[in-house]
Structure 1
Amino acid sequence: MARLPSRTTQQESRPALPVALPVSLLAALQPRKSRYRSAFLVLAILLSISTYLLVRPSWSLSLHKDTPAVDQLAVALESARNSRLSGTTRKHKKIFNSGEQVRLDPSQELAAISSFLASLPQNIIPLSVDPSVTIDPQLVLDFDTRSVRAMEEVRHIVADVWLRNPVFLYSKLYSPASREIKAMLGKMNLRPTPTIMDVDIRDDAEVLEPIIRRLTSSSELPVLLVGGKPAGSIEEIRLLDRSGELRKMVAASGAVIDGSKKKKHRH
């Protein structure tokens, strides 16, 4: 009786499949994935061509002929970005450097410094400032001091600071003359209340005091400003107070005498 070939023998007699199937066969087995890949490839090619046509004019003529296409595309994109940034910078400079630095006269400088110091308690004049010369406007003004509207802004600052601070006293905390002027002002019960700055206890005292003396032609502090104008020496202020002229000056500056009392009575 003839013997049947074993299973092992039948398997060995079959031809073995190749380890790696051809790409076309894989595509045939997975037609849907193949279509997706083809569509993605076409889209990528179209995107590359569009980018090339858009940025080609900005490419540098010095690109070597054998530079890889990917490198050329990266260089082109970088060139286009730099070109846009350069244009923005030029526009920015045109807007903010459209004129010369604004120049302040003594009254404007006094107003600018007073506004700067009164706006925030932490504002100080840098110790590097030379008090004998006009201060750099950029240190005390919060706008572009080279713009065509800089002088208009300065005039606004001058009007605003004395409107908000009609009575402004640069004093010394440990000064009998300063205490005397503070007492005079206290009796008037002013509204708004006087702005009092004790220069001698400030961190910028060594530069601020000589600046105030230079701008007000005063030999020493205290300096009383009424409507932005120095009221004079302590002897002159005493005479003004005795004659009643000081009250008239204060009222003319916009401060309301006995205004704080009236406000309290309303409550």
Structure 2
Amino acid sequence: MSAPAPSPLYSDKTRSASASSLLITPTVTHVLAALHPRKPKQRTTFLALVLLLCFSTYLFIANSASLSPSLTMHHSESSADQLALALQTIQNARLAEVSNKHGSARKSHHNIKIVPLKLDLPQELAAVTSFLASLPQNVIPHTVDPSIPIDPQLVLDFDTRGPRAQEEVRAMVEDVWLRNPVFLYSKLYSPPSREIKSVLSQLHLRPDPTIIDVDIRDDSEILTAMLKRLTGVTELPVLIIGGKPVGSLEEVKALEKSGELSKLVTEAGALINGAKKKKHRK
């Protein structure tokens, strides 16, 4: 009795399975063969290999887990070191820039030449007059040579080496003659000095003339020689109006007679008969 013919569905499945089995790679075939060893000796070898593979996998995973924190820490430490190095580099660059600026400023400061203040004759006359008129006890030091320009630091009350020294000199000159429009360097025991004092007294000036009797001062010799160099007047008394020396007694009398003396006094800022009017008000 012959076997029944396979159904068409079964035949299709069989052919499909056969086709799929042909697609299996030789490597997979060997693995499948190894999973079903035919002999006991082969089974033992297979189990040993499996155990060795599992143990190796465990060791690899364990080592990877243990190495990962250290690698991460090392990476973190390396990043931190790089960041610190970058910050240090920036800080060093800034410090170098600041140092260069200060160095340039110091260099520029050293390159600036400080020129000592030099006074011309009118400025020196104003400086000496301002020094003597500011305080009665001010005297010219005995070490000063009257034949040469005086050291400005001896008679000026500001820094003569500062950047604004020239401006302060101009302000000093203006101030001293504004405060003392009529100034007389005289001698206490001298007929010419008494005559000029009498002329000024008759004008009744306001402010009053500033008078210094040179012959009774401790620095009389130095001051007399200095005034001769600064004003060109060879003998005391020396009358100064508005910062300009008028001349000898004869010249003063000539100016008084022509009316020029009153004009010069008024232009200098003094008020004629001002003191007399002030007395009448009292």
- TM tier, shorter chain? 0.5 to 0.7
1:186 to 201, 204, 212: 201
2:117 to 102, 122, 129: 102
- Deviations 1:222-254 (Å, cap 9, x if unpaired)? 000000101111111111111111111111110
Residue matched to 1:228: 243
TM-score using structure 1 length: 0.63
Residue matched to 1:215: 230
Residue matched to 1:260: 275
2:164 to 149, 152, 164: 149
Residue matched to 1:196: 211
Q: CA RMSD in A?
A: 1.9
Aligned residues: 176
More helix by share: 2
Amino acid at match of 1:221: L
Q: Indicate whether 1:135 and 2:135 are aligned.
A: no
SS in 2 for 1:196: strand
- Deviations 1:101-127 (Å, cap 9, x if unpaired)? 110000000000000000000000001
Amino acid at match of 1:107: P
Amino acid at match of 1:109: E
SS in 2 for 1:231: strand
Residue matched to 2:177: 162
Task: Tell me the CA shift for residue 98 of structure 1.
Answer: 7.0
Q: State whether residues 226 and 249 of structure 1, in contact with CA within 8 Å, keep that contact through their aligned partners in structure 2.
A: yes
Moved over 6 A (4+): none
Residue matched to 2:40: none
SS in 1 for 2:254: helix
Task: Tell me the CA shift for residue 266 of structure 1.
Answer: 2.0
Q: Within 1, Cα distance between the matches of 2:185 and 2:249? A: 12
Residue matched to 2:67: none
Task: Tell me the CA shift for residue 99 of structure 1.
Answer: 2.4
In structure 1, stretches of 5+ residues that fail to align are 1-90
2:192 to 152, 177, 187: 177
Q: State whether residues 162 and 227 of structure 1, in contact with CA within 8 Å, keep that contact through their aligned partners in structure 2.
A: yes
SS in 1 for 2:226: helix
Q: State whether residues 98 and 148 of structure 1, in contact with CA within 8 Å, keep that contact through their aligned partners in structure 2.
A: no
